[in-house]
């Protein structure tokens, strides 16, 4: 089995979508968080292609994908997922999404149930009215390029306390800076979707693994974006979902504890 990971682009009416692909066998599609890219899964992909054909895309507006000329909703992002699957001739996938990617993955599964075999949802915050308002405020503020370049150091310091590694922080900052000067597409999309998510996710009937990084959720609570207890909406909407928690799971957990994530994912996918 080839372990080489290739990079390619899909042409759409709103621009090119960049994606990574490697491995053979059943397909596992990875959807990243905001404001990251498929680089979020750089450590995880080599562990997963041992058994699966892995595809990881950059949402439009992020990473090496183009910036769309219009705002994108979660439903729009779900359509681009289906467009990529159609382009690759993939009828059905296993799907893993984290944060923004989880909202999109949930919508893909709710709208196109025949296309998803198994679903893994990571860190789907329950925002509520207050959280939605804060998301939209962040969207209005945006990522601003500053004449003195201070925005560069601001981004470096923004996550340093929980990223730790300078190399990983550098990768995050690179993804951040690719979003500067453009709308915060995913913040707008999730802000306009989060209150509908509990009802939309009730349509998910396939086997589902719900993954929580406890440190990540507690950080959301500190920021006032969401309450830890509000994450329980996911288990209420998807009662058949299996839950796995990582006490050391930070916002960077896909990069920091890939072996633990891969073990949980592979065990879930191997279940009959």
Per-residue pLDDT tens over the stretch 49-81:
999 999 999 999 999 999 999 999 999 999 999
Residues 211-226: b if buried by 16+ CB within 10 A, e if exposed: bbbbbbbebbeeeebb
Q: What pTM did the predictor assign?
A: 0.95
Question: How many CB atoms lie under 10 A from the CB of residue 170?
Answer: 11
Q: Sheet with 116-122: list strands edge to edge.
A: 5-12, 15-22, 53-57, 27-31, 93-98, 116-122, 208-213, 242-246
* Tens digits of residue pLDDT in 28-46: 999 999 999 999 999 999 9
- Cα dihedral sign for 190, 194, 196, 201? positive
3-class SS of residue 124? coil
Q: Count Cα neighbours of 37 within 13 Å in the Cβ-side half-sphere.
A: 24
Are residues 163 and 169 in contact, defined by beta-carbon separation less than 8 angstroms?
A: yes
Beta-carbon contacts of residue 155 (< 8 Å; ≥ 6 apart)? 173, 176, 177
Give the mean pLDDT of 224-248. Answer: 81
The residue written with tokens 């989060």 in the block is 194
* Tens digits of residue pLDDT in 249-264: 999 999 999 999 999 9
**Confidence class of residue 4 from pLDDT cuts 50, 70 and 90?**
confident
Q: How far apart are CA 124 and CA 106, in angstroms?
A: 10
Here the tokens at position 231 are: 């994450």
Q: For residue 154, which phi and psi values (nearest 5 degrees)?
A: -60, -40
CA dihedral defined by 116, 117, 122, 125, rounded to 10 degrees? 50
Say what angle helices 100-111 and 74-87 make with each other, to 10 degrees.
70
* Tens digits of residue pLDDT in 119-172: 999 999 888 888 889 899 999 999 999 999 999 999 999 877 778 799 999 999
The residue written with tokens 């922080």 in the block is 169
* In the chain, domain spans: 5-270
Q: 5-270, what's its fold? A: Rossmann fold (3.40.50)
SS3 content of the chain, % helix, strand, coil (to 5): 45, 20, 35
Q: Is residue 2's pLDDT more than 60? A: no
């Amino acid at each position: 089995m080839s372990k080489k990971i290739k990079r390619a682009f899909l042409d759409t009416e709103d621009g090119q979508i960049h994606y990574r692909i490697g491995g053979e066998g059943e397909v596992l599609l990875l959807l990243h968080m905001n404001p990251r890219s498929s680089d979020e899964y750089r450590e995880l992909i080599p562990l997963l292609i041992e058994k699966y054909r892995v595809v990881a895309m950059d949402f439009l507006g992020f990473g090496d994908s183009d910036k769309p000329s219009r705002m994108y909703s979660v439903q729009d992002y779900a359509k681009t997922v289906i467009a990529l699957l159609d382009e690759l001739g993939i009828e059905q996938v296993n799907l893993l999404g984290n944060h923004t990617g989880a909202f999109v993955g949930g919508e893909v599964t709710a709208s196109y149930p025949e296309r998803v075999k198994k679903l893994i949802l990571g860190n789907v915050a329950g925002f509520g009215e207050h959280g939605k308002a804060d998301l939209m405020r962040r969207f209005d503020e945006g990522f601003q390029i500053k004449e003195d370049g201070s925005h560069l150091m601001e981004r470096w310091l923004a996550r340093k306390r929980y990223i730790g590694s300078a190399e990983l922080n550098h990768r995050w900052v690179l993804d951040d800076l690719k979003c500067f000067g453009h709308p915060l597409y995913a913040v707008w999309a999730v802000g306009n979707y989060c209150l509908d998510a509990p009802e939309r996710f009730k349509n998910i009937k396939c086997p589902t693994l719900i993954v929580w990084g406890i440190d990540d959720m507690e950080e959301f609570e500190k920021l006032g974006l969401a309450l830890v207890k509000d994450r329980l909406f996911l288990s209420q909407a998807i009662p058949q979902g299996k839950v796995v928690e990582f006490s050391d799971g930070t916002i960077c957990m896909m990069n920091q504890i890939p072996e633990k994530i891969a073990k949980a994912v592979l065990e879930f996918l191997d279940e009959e």
